[in-house]
Structure 1
């Protein structure tokens, strides 16, 4: 059934609930692999140069964001392992989250994508706002579980 499950994480509580769901699925399907991905928004040097206040040593935003994304993935991995996850890998990518999540799932031949959703918006508002979960569900070629 599901051999490769992609779980998008961003450090939010809903993302951790998505991780929990993937771990529950893995218990039912012990051979399934969970692939955690955190996508950070890519910033160009031009965008970085628009900052009003600049420190003496300016870190490239992509470097800082990718490091933070790595921390998010590591936290999610620890969270998953504490709940019994076995086959588990983490990835960090830069770009537009919905687009990268779908592309990553396709590249990894995922059978399922699990994403969290914002609990404060109704379905109608979510479509108008164009949330990541709505974009992923409309673009993915495999099933998507929105938690």
Structure 2
């Protein structure tokens, strides 16, 4: 399984370093893409990411992917999201880690339950409501002023 150079360059170019909501949104979208849909399984159109692949390594893989998922929650906290949303996001990461720790069952589960995609949807809904200027259409930030 390989990642095309164009896809890697596109994802790497989307990693802004700012603390503004638009930069955080692009950073979270890039991390979610890496964790959940960075690669295409050969012979299929099914996309998987590092969460499913690194999770195949016993113990260490699950710890690494849980830490990466927790980073998404940390970024959401830094945005000032309400605790209710943070608890939901933490629950998604925790549930993924708990089931992912079960040998074989957890590996299959990682291919189906995409906690990082769920968490990104929570963040995007909140950002769309509270920071509508961060919305993107075809890669361009929409200025709603």
Query: TM exceeds 0.5?
Result: no
Higher helix proportion, which one? 2
Higher strand proportion, which one? 1
Q: Which has the higher contact order (CA 8 A, sep 6+)?
A: 1
